[in-house]
């Protein structure tokens, strides 16, 4: 009863906050009066429902009522219902947000070509999330394919609701000391559709800018899944997505991409998410792998064959295709910079895929589909921070060196006790780190006048700035993510039971199957 009262009060005060923020005093009285009447009726309906539910349990489930495990059952009952009621409270609150007319571009600031390109780029970046699901899903054991894929994909739902409610405000709202945005600036997308364009994207609507940035926020927690695959509970990972998006992603996005962010003002360059997306996800993956500890199969040295290599190839294709929107779209316009970022993205991916494959062959292995695909993704990661700052020829070197470093890191990781299931830290974490460092080396104002010249062109100060920004991002992402995982593990188990791990997470967590369901024979 207390739990549901808390939910009622939470939704009531959330709606009241919206009314006070959006409506004038004259309307507030009538709307609040209507709101109170509505909530009184809802309360009486709930009490009636509760009485019926108690009656049902009394007559039909008396045995469980006398069960000594009742408290544990109630805790599970509340935990299972909490996500729905929180979403319900937010959805009810959203009803009271006024719909305002779109911003009138009376001065002709909007550019049709820029809007078209960023719209396409937004869709391309979204496509990367199902691409990532295929990429990861094809690599794990066949009994864990669906559970791995859904953990990446469900971020599209969770992060979108957070972003519309207050996530965009935390990332791009009025800066509080250069560290975080004011969550009330664009609360429930207040002053977004009806506002002037974002200062760094003056030719597109602010709503489009917000949606483009949303796609980056969606895929970032999805990347972490690969390190925790085959042993993390679905409900625990949902909670991780929420806390990571608020406490890690939003601050890093604000620091790096908001004009008042302290890394932005420091002069650090991150064109499309080397720190914000890949370093944060890679370091969170490392933290999660350390907290979750090793899988049983990993401790026993059992080699797990990939469930579906064609899935990996399909996922790589979707990621590569979507990355054109990820990087070239970050130019925020249909211009020469977008073309340059498009070219560096493709070139680095191609060079890295070949580098990984040829390096494997040099070590005595056969050229493999998995090797080329993983290498290509590492190249895409490494070029991300410098896609709009480095030259096209230099992107070949960035791709080649990043693939070699990640390949070596994977080799030594496999000899260690670290159980990063799909090598997220060696590929995304180190890939992002290498990309940030090499942006500090090869960046040039000849490509982007808003950027800087790197170490290769004699600018030591900028190179040191990149190192400092990279170090801050690594330390912050790892420490906060580690604390998030520890906190979640305190309130509910992070990992499944040994029996569930043995049966597979598809069956035990989702009651679904890829091929034959081991639980249903």
266-275 pLDDT tens trace: 999 999 999 9
Tokens 């045995």: give the residue.
63
pLDDT above 50 for 71: no
Residue 514 has pLDDT above 70, yes or no: yes
* Cβ partners under 8 Å of residue 254, min gap 6: 170, 171, 172, 175, 178, 179, 180, 181, 261
Instruction: Specify the DSSP class assigned to residue 164.
Output: I
Count how many Cα atoms sit within 13 Å of the Cα of residue 467 in the half-sphere of its side chain: 8
User: What pLDDT does 70 receive?
Assistant: 44
Tokens of residue 163, six digits:
């972003």
Residue 384, classified by CB atoms within 10 Å of its CB into exposed (0-12), middle (13-18) or buried (19+), is buried
- Quote the CA–CA distance of 89 and 92 in Å, as a whole number: 5
- pLDDT, position 269: 97
From residue 460, alpha-carbon distances to 451, 454, 466 in Å are 15, 7, 10
Confidence of residue 91 (pLDDT cuts 50, 70, 90): confident
Contact 221/244 with Cβ under 8 angstroms?
yes
Secondary structure of 460-504 as H, E, C letters:
HHHHHHHHHHHHHHHHHHHHHHHHHHHHHHHHCCCECCHHHHHHC
Region 112-510: CATH code? 1.10.3430.10
Higher pLDDT, 242 or 18: 242
Report pLDDT digits (tens) over 219-233: 999 999 999 999 999
pTM (predicted TM-score):
0.87
Mean pLDDT of 412-418: 94
Q: How crowded is residue 125: how many other Cβ atoms within 10 Å of its Cβ?
A: 27
- Mean pLDDT computed over 415-431: 96
Whole-number percent of the chain with pLDDT over 70: 83
pLDDT of residue 5: 54
Q: Cα separations (Å) of 245 from 111, 268, 326? A: 31, 22, 19
Distance CA 361, CA 158 (A): 42
What phi and psi, each to the nearest 5 degrees, are found at residue 411? -60, -50
Backbone angles phi, psi at 109, to 5 degrees: -75, -30
Give the rounded percent of residues in the chain with a pLDDT score beyond 90: 74
Split at pLDDT 50, 70, 90, the class of 76 is low
Tell me which of 486 and 54 has the higher pLDDT: 486
- What average pLDDT score do residues 501-521 get? 78
**Mean pLDDT value of segment 62-79:** 48
Which of 448, 428, 440, 423 is closest to 382 using CA atoms?
428
Query: How far is the C-alpha of 328 from the C-alpha of 281, rounded, in Å?
Result: 21
Where do we find the tokens 């709202």?
Answer: 173
Residue of higher predicted confidence among 17 and 50: 17
Residue 23 confidence (pLDDT) above 80: no
pLDDT of residue 519: 47
Residue-wise pLDDT for 442-453, tens only, equals 999 999 999 999
Give, in degrees to the nearest 5, the angle at Cα 183 between 177 and 186.
115
Quote the CA–CA distance of 245 and 38 in Å, as a whole number. Answer: 33
The confidence band for 415, taking pLDDT boundaries of 50, 70 and 90, is: very high
Query: End-to-end distance of the chain based on CA atoms, in angstroms?
Result: 41
Number of C-beta neighbours around residue 159 at 10 A: 26
| Average pLDDT score over residue span 459-474 | 97
The pLDDT of residue 41 is above 80: no
Helix runs in 329-424, H state only: 336-362, 369-383, 392-414, 424
pLDDT at 92 > cutoff 50: yes
**What's the DSSP call for residue 274?**
I
Question: Span 429-436, mean pLDDT?
Answer: 97
pLDDT class for 373, splitting at 50, 70, 90?
A: very high
| pLDDT, the chain, mean | 88
The answer to whether 166 and 247 have CB atoms below 8 angstroms apart is: no
pLDDT of res. 33: 54
347: which residues sit within 8 A by CB, 6+ positions away? 383, 392, 395, 396, 399
Tokens of 318: 């979707």
The C-alpha atoms of residue 434 and residue 440 are separated, in whole angstroms, by 10
d(CA 77, CA 285): 30
Output the six-digit token pair for 199. Answer: 């200062």
Residue 7 pLDDT > 60: no
Instruction: Please name which of 146, 125, 122, 143 lies closest in space to residue 134, comparing C-alpha atoms.
Output: 146
* Closest listed residue to residue 32, CA positions, set 19, 43, 48, 14: 19
Q: Is the pLDDT of residue 14 over 70?
A: no
pLDDT in tens, 169-181: 999 999 999 999 9
**Looking at the predicted structure, is the pLDDT value of residue 18 above 80?**
no
pLDDT of residue 265: 96
Helix (H, G, I), strand (E, B) or coil at 138: coil
pLDDT at 96 (0 to 100): 79
Asked if pLDDT for residue 45 goes beyond 60, the answer is no
Helix axis angle, 25-60 relative to 2-22, nearest 10°? Answer: 160
Element (H, E) at 106: none
**Rounded Cα–Cα distance for residues 131 and 317 (Å):** 8
User: Residue 94 above 90 pLDDT?
Assistant: no
Query: In the chain, what are the domain boundaries?
Result: 2-95, 112-510
**SS percent in the chain: helix, strand, coil, step 5:** 75, 0, 25
Q: What is the pLDDT of residue 453?
A: 97
Structure tokens at 442: 């090869």
Give the per-residue pLDDT at 332: 97
What the block records as the tokens of 271 is 């064109």
Q: Which residues contact 241 (CB under 8 A, 6 or more apart)?
A: 154, 155, 158, 159, 221
Tokens of 268: 């650090």
Examine the pLDDT at 30 and tell me if it is beyond 70: no
pLDDT at residue 286 tops 80: yes
pLDDT recorded at residue 325: 97
Write out the H or E segment, with its range, that includes residue 175.
strand 175-176
Q: What is the DSSP string of 210-238?
A: HHHHHHHHHHHHHHHHHHHTTTB-HHHHH
Please name every residue paired with 181 in a beta bridge, in sequence order, or none if there are none.
Answer: 175
Mean pLDDT, range 79-103, rounded to an integer: 81
Confidence of residue 32 (pLDDT cuts 50, 70, 90): low
Mean pLDDT of 239-250: 96
Taking Cα atoms as reference points, which of 498, 421, 515 lies closest to residue 143?
515
């Amino acid at each position: 009863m207390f739990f549901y009262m808390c939910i009622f009060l939470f939704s009531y005060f959330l709606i009241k906050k919206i009314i006070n923020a959006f409506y004038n005093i004259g309307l507030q009285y009538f709307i609040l009066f209507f709101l109170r009447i509505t909530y009184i009726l809802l309360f009486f309906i709930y009490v009636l429902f509760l009485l019926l539910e108690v009656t049902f349990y009394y007559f039909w489930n008396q045995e469980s009522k006398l069960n000594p495990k009742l408290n544990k059952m109630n805790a599970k009952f509340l935990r299972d219902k909490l996500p729905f009621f929180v979403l319900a409270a937010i959805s009810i609150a959203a009803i009271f947000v006024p719909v305002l007319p779109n911003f009138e571009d009376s001065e002709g600031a909007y550019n049709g070509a820029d809007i078209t390109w960023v719209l396409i780029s937004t869709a391309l970046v979204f496509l990367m999330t199902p691409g990532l699901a295929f990429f990861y899903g094809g690599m794990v054991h066949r009994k864990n394919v669906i559970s791995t894929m859904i953990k990446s994909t469900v971020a599209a739902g969770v992060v979108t609701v957070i972003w519309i409610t207050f996530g965009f405000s935390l990332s791009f709202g009025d800066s509080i000391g250069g560290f975080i945005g004011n969550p009330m600036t664009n609360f429930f997308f207040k002053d977004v559709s009806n506002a002037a364009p974002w200062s760094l994207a003056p030719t597109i609507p602010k709503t489009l800018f917000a949606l483009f940035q949303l796609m980056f926020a969606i895929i970032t927690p999805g990347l972490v899944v690969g390190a925790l695959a085959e042993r993390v509970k679905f409900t625990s990972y949902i909670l991780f997505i929420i806390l990571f998006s608020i406490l890690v992603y939003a601050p890093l996005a604000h620091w790096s991409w908001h004009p008042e962010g302290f890394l932005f003002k420091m002069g650090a360059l991150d064109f499309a998410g080397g720190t914000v997306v890949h370093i944060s996800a890679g370091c969170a993956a490392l933290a999660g792998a350390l907290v979750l500890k090793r899988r049983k199969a990993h401790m026993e040295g059992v080699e797990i064959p990939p469930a579906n290599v064609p899935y990996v190839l399909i996922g790589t294709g979707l990621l590569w295709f979507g990355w054109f929107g990820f990087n070239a779209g970050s130019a925020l316009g249909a211009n020469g910079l977008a073309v340059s970022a498009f070219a560096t993205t493709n070139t680095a991916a191609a060079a890295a895929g070949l580098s990984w494959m040829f390096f494997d062959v040099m070590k005595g292995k056969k050229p493999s589909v998995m090797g080329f695909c993983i290498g290509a993704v590492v190249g895409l990661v490494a070029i991300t921070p410098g896609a709009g700052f480095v030259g096209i020829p230099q992107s070949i070197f960035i791709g080649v060196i990043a693939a070699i470093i990640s390949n070596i890191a994977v080799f030594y990781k496999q000899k260690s006790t670290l159980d990063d299931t799909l090598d997220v830290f060696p590929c995304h974490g180190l890939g992002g780190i290498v990309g940030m460092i090499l942006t500090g080396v090869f960046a040039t104002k000849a490509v982007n006048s808003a950027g800087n010249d790197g170490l290769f062109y004699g600018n030591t100060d900028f190179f040191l700035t990149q190192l400092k920004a990279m170090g801050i991002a690594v330390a912050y992402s790892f420490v906060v993510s580690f604390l998030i995982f520890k906190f979640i593990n305190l309130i509910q188990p992070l990992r499944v039971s040994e029996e569930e791990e043995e049966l597979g997470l598809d069956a035990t967590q989702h009651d679904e199957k890829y091929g034959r369901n081991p639980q249903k024979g």
